[in-house]
Chain A
Amino acid sequence: MKKTFLTAVALAAVLVTTGCSSGSDDESAAPTSSGSAAAGAGAATTGKVTVLAAASLTESFDKIGTLFEQLNPSAEVTFSYGGSSGLATQITSGAPADVFASASPATMKTVTDAGDNSGEPVTFVKNQLVIAVPKGNPKGITSLAALAKPEFKVALCADAVPCGAAAKKALAAGGVTVKPVTLEQDVKSALAKVKLGEVDAALVYRTDAKAATADVDGVEFPESAQAINDYPIVALKDATNPSGASAFVAFVQTPQAQQVLADAGFQKP
């Protein structure tokens, strides 16, 4: 299994087709069997499956990919992680991929609106916001309302990205007005600002806070229930390995995969 982190739309096509397949040319041909969709049952899936997934899924999907390959030894899963909307742009621009897992229904809609999906998207996990604070919570931030205090430096995600939209919703639900010092381009950047101590708090997904437990604590707050984020997944129309694609989509919904996601802090849909 190989990982690639792609940002440039232009490079995506080149890398996915050439860079990632190096050393596995013999396997990259179209699947030889007609592959059952019931991948969880261990029916053989072969060939390469290229999955574009939201950055917040990185750790979980890496594990799920390994499990999938153990069950399907002749299959090879390649992940490309990135911001959901960037990935959506890549797909609508024709990047060759088999599966798209997004962090928001809105970005998924971009893909389905363009008709690039094969079958309906399925929500496979939910994620909700927590307040990420430096380890030990030195400023004693325990509620969403505390973020409105002017002495705290707060990082939010930009409105344009899903975590920003969710934060906006949650703040509105709590009637809290926060003056952030920065609107980060994605949730990992917001979290990095907390890790580096540049801000006192940031609104991030619970999964991201959990992945960074060494440096940050996640403070749960009730208003987050108003801004739960659905993660949809779908097989893509132009998939080079349609059976592999649907097999992977199905596998993500198996209890085995769901456990991995739950361990990472995701909630069941």
Chain B
Amino acid sequence: MSLDAHLVVKRDGFTLDATLTAGPGEVVALLGPNGAGKSTALRALAGLIGLDDGHITLDGRRIERDAPEHRHIGVVFQDYLLFPHLSALDNVAFGPRCRGVSRTESRVRATELLTRVGLSDHVRKKPRELSGGQAQRVALARALATDPKLLLLDEPLAALDARTRLDTRAHLRGHLGTHHGPTVLVTHDPLDAMMLADRLVILEDGRVVQTGDAATITSQPRTDYVARLVGLNLYRGHATEGTVRVADDFTLTVAGAFTGDAFVAFPPSAVALYNVRPEGSPRNTWPATVTAVSRQGDALRIELTGPIQVAADITSAAAVQLGLEPGREVWASLKATEATAYPA
């Protein structure tokens, strides 16, 4: 069982054109900013909106013309959409009933699934009597109850508070592991994507801009959005044997030696700031002007302008010592070993 899809959907000036594949048991996260077309992609896969072009092949069969009820795809919706008039048990038994399984057998299966997700004490409850985390599990059990060939999850954790989210995420990861078919997960939260998915597909403005596993994405972002997401400074330029020209007359010395178009990425914490030009300076040193100061966890995030726009994280103590405020002129430096270059 595997998924191979090329989704083309045109909607009032917006075009989704994305290729998506997922192998048996693989969890693929569709990650992207709001309006990137993630939900559109998910709805297209589920058959809730039609394709304008492309195809969806699931388990070797073309399904893009099938109605949603004939696609054998399980969906966990963002706000779960549990049927409010049915108990947890009947919600889960709904799918099997629609597929022609007898009432008794459906209920047995539903009870089994609810027990598996740890809700055996809540089978008789109506959705409004369930907590957010419990509702999420019922929704998952309901989607799994039909033995779907493909499992789709739309922002599965977005509706939960931070604490529940942590528990549910771990719980969800366990269950996704037991699903034999491919899983596609839509999220705007990089942490969810990285914790739950084997592979990430980054969607921006209707197009796939990068795919790869969490390690690759986090260390080698290829767009500003991904860089911001994973908290890196990112520049594009031309590499020549250990240096990358990232602006007209500005080069960075980096780790890794190759020639050609390249990205350079480094974390804000790799940037050091000084009042005066540092002695015996590393090669990457340049004058910069502070444009903004904000709190970022324990550190302060300093936005700088100069030959390149850059973000630097420094301690509060250092900031006070330097007297940092917008308009202040400083020297920035970056260790070559902390800047990664990779082919564009």
Do A's and B's CB atoms come within 8 Å in the complex? no
